[in-house]
């Protein structure tokens, strides 16, 4: 074994003489091959029960039907993880493919496959160099990235966010508002009085 290793070192590692390190590969455990195999009879599944059956398994945290530990422990305090805002990270080195003077926003970054998935906004970091001016529309820009963008002749602007209920169309914008009704025209409901025994 040692002589082979010495020969490989002398010849140099090549694709045809690559080998796994000793102990990296193990013999496959053969189940159900008789009791003398070391894994015979029950094949490592114990005696009967749910886990011994074909396809029998238990979900994580299941305790046989009793109240599980995660439900027995008291829950106190406030966790801010549900309100965490995830930002898509983009470095200046990734913006080199954009032409000079082009607008870099979420749409253009998605088209270039630089960001994907769901996120709250975009954050520009200063890793790399920018050699031409770009108009960058992002929610967050680091201090180093801001300096490099302005030095290259670029500008930083806040992204134009659409209203939550969708963009208002021209027809809805031109539609006149309904005049407010005067208090005299409103129907006044009579107050209900409670009649009780004296």
| pLDDT over 70, % of the chain | 76
4: pLDDT confidence band, cut at 50, 70 and 90? low
pLDDT, position 27: 86
Whole-Å CA distances, 14 to 3, 10, 17, 66 = 17, 11, 5, 59
* pTM, rounded to two decimals: 0.48
**Cα angle for residues 139, 145, 148 (degrees, 5° grid):** 135
Buried b or exposed e, range 41-71, using 16+ CB within 10 angstroms:
eeeeeeeeeeeeeeeeeeeeeeeeeeeeeee
**Cα angle for residues 122, 124, 126 (degrees, 5° grid):** 165
56: pLDDT confidence band, cut at 50, 70 and 90? confident
Q: What is the mean pLDDT of residues 99-120?
A: 93
Do 149 and 131 contact (CB within 8 A), yes or no? Answer: no
Q: What is the pLDDT of residues 63-101, one digit of tens each?
A: 999 999 999 999 898 888 889 999 999 999 999 889 999
């Amino acid at each position: 074994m040692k002589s082979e290793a010495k020969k490989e070192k002398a010849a140099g590692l090549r694709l045809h003489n690559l080998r796994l390190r000793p102990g990296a590969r193990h013999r496959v455990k053969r189940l159900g091959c008789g009791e003398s195999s070391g894994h015979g009879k029950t094949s490592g599944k114990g005696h009967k029960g749910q886990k011994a059956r074909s396809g029998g398994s238990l979900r994580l945290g299941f305790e046989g039907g009793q109240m599980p530990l995660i439900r027995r422990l008291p829950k106190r305090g406030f966790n801010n993880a549900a309100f965490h805002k995830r930002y898509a990270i983009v470095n200046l080195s990734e913006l080199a493919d954009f032409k000079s003077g082009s607008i870099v926003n979420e749409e253009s970054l998605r088209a270039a496959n630089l960001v994907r998935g769901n996120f709250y906004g975009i954050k520009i970091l200063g890793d790399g160099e920018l050699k031409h001016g770009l108009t960058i529309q992002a929610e967050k820009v680091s201090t180093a990235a801001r300096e490099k963008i302005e030095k290259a002749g670029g500008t930083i602007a806040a992204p134009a966010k659409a209203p939550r209920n969708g963009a208002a169309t021209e027809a809805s914008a031109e539609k006149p508002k309904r005049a407010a009704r005067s208090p005299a025209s409103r129907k006044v409901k009579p107050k209900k009085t409670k009649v009780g025994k004296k």
